[in-house]
Structure 1
Amino acid sequence: MNVAVIGSAGAVSPEERALRDLYVEHGPALYTYVLRLLGGDTHRAEDIVQETLLRCWTKQNLVDDESMAVRPWMFRVARNLVIDTHRSRAARPPEVNSSIPLTELGCQTDDIDRMLSSIVLRQALQALTPAHREALQATFFADRTTQQAATALGIPQGTVKSRVYYALRTLKTVLK
C-alpha cells in the first residue's frame, strides 16, 4: 500500500491522516507478521495488510483511539483474514500449475487408457493396405527417415513419402 497516495489530493481529513499514521507506525510489523503466516507469499501478504487497514479504517474510530490500542486488534484481524483465505482455498479444488507435470502432483497415467488407445490404433492400422502399413512401420515405428526407410524397403524415397502421406490420411479418416 502506497502511503503517499492516501490523501494526496490536498486537504487531508483527520481519518485519512490517522490511517496514514497507523500504516506508517504499524504497517511494517503487520506486513512481516502476515508474511510469516503466509510462508513468504508477498502478494497475498500485501492484500491481507491492505484489507486489515481497510477494516480498521471502517470499524475503528482512529482519531480518538490511541494507535497502540488498535495494534492487537489489527493483528487479530490480519490473522483471521489469513485463516479465512486458507480455509477458502482448502474448500476449492487445488490449482494446478501447468509447468508441473501431472506425475509430480501424484497423478499416475492410467494403463487402461493406454491399452484402449493401442487397441483403437491397431484396428485403424488394419484398415490400411499392406504397402501403406509397411511404409508407416518403416518410418514412424522404426524411427527412420524416408531415405532410410526407402533403403530398407528397397523402393524409391518418393514412393515411401507417398505411401506415408496416404496412410496418414486414411488413419485420420478411420480414427474420426
Structure 2
Amino acid sequence: MVTDPGVLDQLHRDHANALWAYVVRLTGDRTFAQDVVQETMLRAWREGITDETDTHATSARAWLFTVARRLVIDESRSARHRREVIADELPEQRTGDQVDAVFDAAMIVDALASLSPSHREVVVRAYYGRATVTEIAEDLGVPPGTVKSRMHYGMRALRLALQERGVTR
C-alpha cells in the first residue's frame, strides 16, 4: 500500500485521462468509465503501484490498463449487467399518491348527487362535457338564460354541499 498521497496523485495525473478515454472506447459509457478509473486507482494504491514500480516486468501504465480492461470484462459478465436495460429516460414517471384524488372525486360525485336533476345536468354538461351555454340550451330545449340561472344556483348548491363535507373556501 502506498502511504504517500503525492505518489497516488502523480499516478492519477499521469494516467487517469488516458485510462478514462480507453474505458469510454470500450464501453461507450462515460459515467461507468469514471467508476472504472476510480476503482483502478484504488487497486493501484492497495497494490503499491507507482510510476517507478515494475510489476512482473510491466510498467504502471500497462498494469492500470490491464486492471481497467479486466474490470470492464467482469462487469459485462456480471448478472447485474445482463439484467439492466440502459434507457435515456426513466421508464416510469414519479407520481404522487392518488388516494387523495380518489377521495376528492368520490366527494364531488356525492355532492353532485345532492343537486336537483336540472341543476346537476347543467353543471355536469358545462364542467365535465365542456359545453357552452348555447350548446346546453339547444340540447335541453330551454332558453340560454335558464341555463345560466340553473348554472348559478347549481354551483351555489354544489359549493354548499362541498362545504358540508369539509371542503372549505
Structure-1-length-normalised TM-score? 0.51
Tell me, yes or no, if structure 1 residue 74 matches structure 2 residue 41: no
Q: Structure 2 vs 1, CA of residues 159 and 149 (structure 1 numbering), >3 Å: closer, same or farther?
A: farther
Question: Who is 1:142 aligned against?
Answer: 129
**1:159 matched to which residue of 2?**
153
CA contact (8 A) 1:15 1:63 kept: no
Preserved CA contact (<8 Å) 1:132 1:166: no
Once the two structures are superposed, residues 46-104 of structure 1 have per-residue CA deviations (whole angstroms, 9 ceiling, x without a partner) of 23212211111102443762385233332232233334555435446878945x767xx
Q: Residue 59 of structure 1 is aligned with which of 47, 59, 64? A: 47
Distance 1:78 1:135 in 2: 71
- CA displacement at 1:166 relative to structure 2: 6.2
CA RMSD of aligned residues (A): 4.6
Is the radius of gyration larger for structure 1 or structure 2?
2
Q: How does 1:33-48 map to 2 (within 5 A)?
A: 33-41=22-30, 43-48=31-36
Distance 2:51 2:147 in 1: 94
Identity of aligned residues (%): 27
SS in 2 for 1:80: helix
Q: How many residues align?
A: 138
Counterpart Cα distance in 1 of 2:82 and 2:160: 52
Native 8 Å contact 1:146 1:161 kept in 2: no
- The answer to whether the 8 Å contact 1:131/1:163 transfers is no
- In 2 relative to 1, CA 28–162 (structure 1 residues): closer, same or farther, beyond 3 Å? same
Structure 1 residues 25 and 56: CA distance shift in structure 2, 3 A: same
**Match for 2:33: what amino acid?**
A
The letter of the residue matching 2:122 is A
* In structure 1, distance between residues paired with 2:19 and 2:25: 10
Provide the residue aligned with 1:28 in structure 2: 17
**Residue 37 of structure 1: how far off its partner (Å):** 3.0
Unaligned runs of 5+ in 2: 94-105, 138-143
8 Å CA contact retained: 2:49, 2:60: no
Distance change in 2, residues 1:135/1:53 (3 Å): same
Q: Distance in 2 between matches of 1:75 and 1:40?
A: 17
Measure the CA separation in 1 of the matches of 2:53 and 2:158.
82
- Conserved? CA contact 1:138–1:149, under 8 Å: yes
Matched residue type, 2:152: G
Amino acid corresponding to residue 162 of structure 1 in structure 2: R
